[in-house]
Structure 1
């Protein structure tokens, strides 16, 4: 982030990994967020239990088809809540150490990022912005910042994109991601600084 004088500064710690320091004791390596630079107007903050309403609203905003279900409002809300809980269970089972971050712009929640970091890759599990904040370059800014952090750690970024979301796919392609695998519903995509796309497996 830039400080008041316009200089770049780093944000709070994202994820830590223990390593052995010179004195033989365990210490923490810098987390991803220590390497992520964002404009001063954008901020990443850890999601807490008290943020569930915002997280569910973001989940719902990314699934307009749920709004089209012919159900009474209270049942439609129950359906959204059930789908959201299932997503969270899946995330915890597949990426037990993943972290969820709220994206704030001028102190207002406008989106979220869910990220998992391992020794072999950074996984962008989820990136969602409220509809009124899409198409303004925020997503690209977040991804570019993540790419810079991944490059500093010499790690690739992996993600999956819904094949019914051509807008997101086009954004990732424009930022240097390539498709590594297809399925009926998703494309697995990957980015690694300085490495060209290999032959795509279908």
Structure 2
């Protein structure tokens, strides 16, 4: 369709190391002040932990008009989809791309009859607003993170959470 930027999803490759480091660094304020070796250790530890807990198949690079723009990592389970991460480089934020990615996950989850769960930092106001606009509600409130839930379409139509 003309005028609609093309999204492409692919598995991370060795050539993405610098891009993924920049993405990891840009995702949290202050990370850019840490020594590069410490950042690399943190990034590797996160990748290893998420791969062990959730599997690595849901970790994909998002290209926007053939340019690496971000990453989305999801874990599809029998009752729900866990969105572990939606991260975009700063130059791709605020243009609706994150909402488009989230919308695609929610639409696919609805088709599969699955709820969607994710965590968000309490102070990430922009992300929290995006999630609330997409039907997420607070499931659990921690000191630093909120655990959010979006019931699948048929559950919302019934007005309650499926049992």
Q: TM-score, normalized by length of structure 2?
A: 0.87
* Corresponding position: 1:100 with 2:59: yes
Compared with structure 1, are the counterparts of its residues 97 and 131 closer, same or farther at alpha carbon in structure 2 (3 Å cutoff)?
Answer: closer
| Alpha-carbon distance between aligned partners in 1 of 2:150 and 2:19, rounded to the nearest angstrom | 29
**1:102-181 paired onto structure 2 within 5 Å:** 102-181=61-140
Gaps of 5+ in 1: 7-38, 70-75
Query: Aligned equivalents of 1:158 and 1:121: distance in 2?
Result: 7
Contact 2:50 2:56 in 1 (8 A): no
Assess if the C-alpha contact under 8 Å between 1:178 and 1:197 holds in 2. Answer: no
Aligned to 1:48: 13
- Name the CA distance, whole Å, in 2 between partners of 1:41 and 1:172: 23
Once the two structures are superposed, the pairs formed by residues 32-111 of structure 1 within 5 Å of their partners are 41-69=6-34, 76-111=35-70
Tell me the C-alpha RMSD between the 2 structures: 2.0
Higher helix fraction (1 or 2)? 2
Distance 1:97 1:64, change over 3 A: closer
Give unpaired runs (5+ residues) of structure 2.
none
SS in 1 for 2:62: strand
Deviation at 1:96, TM superposition (A): 2.7
Q: Deviations over 1:96-137 (max 9, x none)?
A: 354211111110000000111111111110000000110000
* 8 Å Cα contact 1:60/1:80 also seen in 2: yes
Partner Cα distance (1:94, 1:186) in 2: 19
Could you state the TM-score of these two structures normalised by the residue count of structure 1? 0.71
Contact conserved, 2:7 with 2:64, CA < 8 A, in 1? Answer: yes
**1:59-106 deviations in whole A, cap 9, x for unaligned?**
01112312235xxxxxx1112111111211220232135421111111
Cα contact 2:10–2:61 (8 A) shared by 1: yes
